Structure 1
Amino acid sequence: MQSWEEVRAWRKSERAALLARRSAMPRDERKACEEAITALIGRSVPELGQVRSLGFYWPFKGEYDPRPLARSLHAQGLRLALPVVVERARPVEFRAWWPGMRLTPGVWGIPVPPEGEPVLPEALLVPLLGFDGQGYRLGYGGGYYDRTLAAMPVKPLAVGIGFRLSRLPTIHPQPHDVPMDLIVTEHRAFRAGGAVAGEHVEEGRH
């Protein structure tokens, strides 16, 4: 593919296929995969024990659910924050979150903190609809994480989280795409092009 128009059309088609594939995961399989991801994050991302603040996400459309992990990290003293779309097609704002706080529906109905001073997280957990071996992610097409990472004064550690079935040979990265520092699936955690920890399982496309 040569042009952005071709890549954009391909990505639209892949998003639909990836969403359908993820939605079709049996409940028991999903639960086992989520437990494996949580355990692998703990073993493979020691940097989370060195940061003071972490941005995570409220799960949407069958994404890995990071809320149990977030509650555990909060209990350990880590400051947590959720992304809030303040203006469409602009970087998101992170606002402090803690267990039990009141949330309101944001864009796409995703719960967000309704108010609060912006937080600049030192690390981010980023949901993956698709991803490739170079660390590039495929989201829903809004470009919010790319804009946010590009705009932050100090780039946080970006940890992409998804299921192995979302692996693609390439997402055909463009100049505006920002790669993750690490990607974690239920089978492996790796940096761009190389494994970090966990089961050494070949992650070909499924």
Structure 2
Amino acid sequence: MEKQLLRKLYLEKRKSLTPQEVDQLSTAILKQFQSLDFQSVKLLHTYYPIAGKFEFNTQILTEWLRQAHPEIMLVLSKSDLQNHTLQHIIWERETPLAMNQWGITEPTDGETVAATEIDMVLIPLLAYDLDGNRIGYGKGFYDRFLADCKPACLKVGISFFAPVDESFETNEHDIPLDLCLTPEKIWHFKK
């Protein structure tokens, strides 16, 4: 299936969920997340959910991490909308946040870190296949970012849905997931 069609299909699938379904699915995803091994994670890159895109609310993961693993430093990105790149900023509770022109909440200021220092990345997506290839919003921000991460960095997708049965067409810039958290299970992908 064509990526553009899958983007549209999975946006519609997310929009069709009721708030109660989203809460139940989110709680189940949090339980999957809590089962991960955080022993070697010092810097964890997360994302702020985009209002209106019906994304998983990563704030519940953030709050759990801050309580259960205060030693882990959280990182949020600030977008360079002209170059389609990301700058990575340590996210403290007091870090000032603002919404950019695309509706993405991001830090306005703070201490930056290199992509090569990050140990785990939580990656927004619309759909993914059984090989760990993902479909995002189509601008390539995360592919450029993930290409700069160290090989040992764990790339974690989050989805309310199981993977698409057929493989996507990929190009040399596409970086696959290592695993994907869903309400039912954690999908692990071969390297």
- Tell me the TM-score normalized by structure 1: 0.81
- Cα distance in 2 for residues equivalent to 1:188 and 1:148: 26
Q: Say if 1:93 and 1:85 are closer, same or farther in 2 by CA, change over 3 A.
A: same
2:153 is the alignment partner of 1:156 = yes
How far off is 1:151 after superposition?
2.2
Indicate which of 18, 40, 51 corresponds to 2:41. Answer: 51
Q: Specify which of 55, 66, 76 is matched with residue 63 of structure 1.
A: 55
Q: Give 1:57 deviation, angstroms.
A: 0.4
Query: Is this contact kept in 1: 2:118–2:149, CA < 8 A?
Result: no
* Unaligned ranges ≥5, structure 2: none
Q: Deviations over 1:28-56 (max 9, x none)?
A: 1111110000101111x21x232111000
Unaligned runs of 5+ in 1: 1-6, 194-206
- 1:191 Cα offset (Å): 1.4
Is this contact kept in 2: 1:126–1:161, CA < 8 A? Answer: yes
**Could you report, residue by residue, the CA deviation over 1:51-109 in whole angstroms, capped at 9, with x for unpaired residues?**
11100000121111111211221232210011111243443111111235321122412
Question: What amino acid is the match of 2:11?
Answer: L
Of 118, 128, 132 in structure 2, the residue corresponding to residue 131 of structure 1 is: 128
Correspondence 1:1-206 to 2 at 5 A: 10-43=2-35, 45-46=36-37, 48-60=38-50, 61-75=53-67, 76-77=69-70, 78-119=72-113, 120-153=117-150, 156-164=153-161, 167-192=164-189
**Distance of 1:186 and 1:30 partners within structure 2:** 10
Change (3 A) 1:88 1:170: farther
The alignment of Structure 1 onto Structure 2 pairs a total of residues equal to: 184
Percent identical across equivalent pairs?
28
Over the aligned positions, Cα root-mean-square deviation in angstroms equals: 2.1
